Chains A and B, each alone.
Chain A
């Protein structure tokens, strides 16, 4: 069993839909990252959080430390949100990555 599990693996949506990507982990962590990777490989760090909730534009990330679970929400999705979203947890100063969620948003 992977230490970081993401669901779903693939997600398609129509423009404007509300999207949720989930991440569960089984190790102790000091922080959790949500990353976005576009075709071509470049990775952008969207959020780093250790408790509660963060919001940036249409993106919202939440974490529940007791349940070892985090969610990434995208409100009013847009085709430019199409990318792979990766959850990564910081465990003993090392990042452990989930396998990613491939999101496609159609106009």
Chain B
């Protein structure tokens, strides 16, 4: 079974731009969660989608948004990028209450 895939793996943007990251979960997994990892704050939960609905949301500003498609693939969008948005963005998928399987991450650098 293929693992969780994320595209792109690396991304460089400038302040004020917007970015869209993509996550394809493991086949059969309907839940996709997104996380941000920075050296200062560590790993933080962004949001979770299940069957195209946002089920849970972390404490991030409205510039961070996401969506999930009918095939369970998910995208997250960050608008009006700030330097502090530079981070590793990880997504993880799971079937229901099972363990989460993480993707390799997208490393975003904001200049």
Contact = CB atoms under 8 A, between A and B. Distances in A.
Given A41-B88, A41-B90, A42-B105, A97 B43 contact: yes
A60 B63 CA distance: 41
Contact of B99 (A33, A93, A99, A100): A33
Contacts of A94: 45, 48, 56, 58
Contact of B90 (A33, A43, A92, A98): A43
B100 interface: yes
> Looking at chain A, what size class is its interface with the partner chain?
20 to 34
Interface in B55-96: 55-56, 58, 88, 90, 92
Contacts of A100: 42
Contacts of B99: 33, 45, 48
B56 A45 contact: no
Contacts of A44: 102
Nearest to A92: B56
Interface residues of B, number: 23
B98 to A, nearest CB: 8
Given A93-B55, A94-B56, A94-B58, A42 B102 contact: yes
Interface string A73-105: 000000000000010100011111111100000
Contacts of A97: 42-44
Nearest to A49: B99
Interface in B8-52: 33, 35, 37, 42-45, 48
Contacts of B88: 41
Contacts of B45: 94-96
Interface of B: 33, 35, 37, 42-45, 48, 55-56, 58, 88, 90, 92, 97-102, 104-105, 107
Given A35-B102, A43-B102, A44-B102, 13 more contacts: A33-B100, A41-B90, A41-B105, A41-B107, A42-B102, A43-B92, A43-B105, A45-B101, A92-B56, A93-B48, A94-B45, A96-B45, A98-B42
